[in-house]
Amino acid sequence: MMRIILHVDMDSFFSSIEVRENPEYAGKPVIVGADPKGGKGRGVVSTCSYEARRHGVRSGMPISKAYRLIPHAVFLPVNYEFYRRVSQNIMAILQKYAYKFQQVSIDEAYLDVTGKVKDYKEAEKLAKKIKAEIKRKEKLTCSIGIGPNKLVAKIASDVNKPNGLTIVKPEEVSQFLSPLPVRCIPGVGPKTEAILKDKGIKTIGQLAEMDGQLLISEFGRWGYELHRLALGIDEREVRERKDQKSIGRETTFEHDTLEPSEIYNTLDELTKKVSEDIQRKRYLYRTITLKVRLEDFTTYTRSRTLEHHTSNLTTLSSIVRDLSREFLDKEKKIRLLGVRVSGLLKIGENQTSLADFS
């Protein structure tokens, strides 16, 4: 069956989040990474805004070099925990639209939308809808590539960044790939690139025209795959990660607290979010764990395991409240609360409703 795959990749992800949180940085070169320490800093650039890229700054570049290129840039430390939470929100949006969903990094995911849309026209509409929803809810832009497989979708999402939308229909694959440098194929690093260059191969088109046997004798198994990729053939499935062990959320209070209403409200918010994640990922859970960090950073966990698997929100919420009670009687204020469920059971593919299990 012909597939339609979307690849979604957020634009200059970490720095775009920083700009969103600090509007005064808009339009400025923003560099997220190690501390430049006036040019003497060690470590590297995680990412930077497109304004900074115009000056030649790139991910992975030593921070000292970035400082030399634009000393007046806004340099910020990496706030990974925060970006991860934003990422979770975005993945939650994306997942709704996919028949099969695979997150591949903090800011990118594949969506197999076969069956959800009937042709590329509809896929384009869907992509616009996704972009609009991310913009509206998270105030961030992304680039989307649409194609008949992961390879084409991935490359397509990259060619019109930022805020791009690139559609490559099956009959356009060959002309789309041909002129691109071999480096655009994921997995082709400097080493493969150099060997190919020695043979006079620079573009994907040239690679596609090569004798497959020759590539196999040069690179072994990878040569075989490389040739197929160059021809635009990629049968890799969009796969959900099946090995998830637990699902959880946590939050740190603005000010440490012992105020019961504040604590209960936060617990309710956390349980609601965890519950939404479970439903979306189609899991049932058996064990509930509460995590509490006090103002002096001592950290406690309290767990309860149920007799049967469930997805019931009321159960989750009342057990979490129960587990939290002992901490309200302590003298120390609470700094952080976390709710996690484990002992997960995936609901069968043909099982569409959670109702039977609650």
> In the complex with ligand TTP, which residue's Cβ is closer, 12 or 275?
12
Would residue 108 show up in a list of annotated catalytic residues for this protein?
yes
φ/ψ (deg, to 5) at 272 = -65, -45
Residue selected from 9, 18, 138, 234 as contacting Mg ion according to rule CB under 5 A: 9
Distance CA 165, CA 130 (A): 11
Q: How far is the CB of 46 from ligand TTP (least distance, A)?
A: 3
**φ and ψ at residue 214, rounded to 5 degrees:** -65, -40
Q: Please identify, using beta-carbon distances, which residue of 13 and 110 lies nearer to ligand TTP.
A: 13
| Least Å from the CB of residue 103 to ligand TTP | 12
User: Is residue 60 part of the contact set for ligand TTP (CB under 6 A)?
Assistant: yes
- Contact between 158 and Mg ion (CB under 5 A)? no
Sign of the C-alpha dihedral computed for residues 141, 146, 151 and 152 taken in this order: negative
Tokens 């650039």 correspond to: 45
Is residue 337 a contact partner of residue 323, using CB atoms and an 8 Å limit? Answer: no
Q: Which of 8, 10, 263, 334 binds Mg ion (CB under 5 A)?
A: 10
Q: Does 46 sit near ligand TTP (CB under 6 A)? A: yes
Answer for which of 12, 87, 317, 324 binds ligand TTP (CB under 6 A) is 12
Q: Which is nearer to ligand TTP, 143 or 289 (CB)?
A: 143
Q: Is 162 in the site for ligand TTP (CB under 6 A)?
A: yes
DSSP-based helix, strand, coil % in the chain, nearest 5: 45, 25, 30
The residue within the footprint of ligand TTP, chosen from 3, 5, 8, 13 (CB under 6 A), is 13
Here the tokens at position 154 are: 């991935």
Active-site residue (options: 18, 21, 81, 108): 108
Let me know: does 294 contact 335? Beta carbons within 8 Å: yes
The reply to whether 234 sits near Mg ion by the rule CB under 5 A is: no
Binding of ligand TTP at residue 62 (CB under 6 A)? Answer: no
Give residue for tokens 């939650």: 92
Minimum Å gap between C-beta 60 and ligand TTP is: 4
Q: Supply the DSSP string of 243-255, one letter for each residue.
A: ---EEEEEEEEEE
140 and 20 in contact (C-beta within 8 Å)?
Answer: yes
Closest separation in Å from C-beta 23 to ligand TTP: 19
Q: According to CB under 6 A, which one of 3, 5, 6, 14 is a site residue for ligand TTP?
A: 14
Rounded distance between C-alpha atoms, residue 182 and residue 189, angstroms: 9
Count of residues engaged in binding Mg ion, rule: CB under 5 A: 4
Give the 3-state secondary structure of residue 351: coil
CB of 159 to Mg ion, least distance (A): 13
When asked if residue 106 is in the footprint of ligand TTP (CB under 6 A), the reply is yes
Residue 14 interacts, among ligand TTP, Mg ion, none and using kind-specific CB cut-offs from 5 to 8 Å, with: ligand TTP
Determine the Cα–Cα distance for residues 291 and 156; give it in Å rounded to an integer: 42
Conformational region of residue 71, where left means phi above 0, alpha means psi within -120 to 50, and beta covers everything else: alpha
Are 340 and 246 spatial neighbours (Cβ–Cβ below 8 Å)? Answer: yes
- Taking the complex as a whole, the smallest distance from the CB of residue 134 to Mg ion amounts, in Å, to 12
Is residue 11 part of the contact set for ligand TTP (CB under 6 A)? yes
SS3 259: coil
Provide DSSP, 152-183: HHHHHHHHT-SS-EEE--GGGHHHHHTTSBGG
First to last CA, the chain: 36
Residue 138 binds to Mg ion (criterion: CB under 5 A): no
Which of the residues 81 through 120 are near Mg ion (CB under 5 A)?
107
> What does 3 bind: Mg ion, ligand TTP, none (CB cut-off 5 to 8 Å by kind)?
none
How many residues in the shown chain lie near ligand TTP by CB under 6 A? 15
Catalytic residue ranges: 108
Interface residues toward ligand TTP, by CB under 6 A: 9-14, 46-47, 59-60, 106-108, 161-162
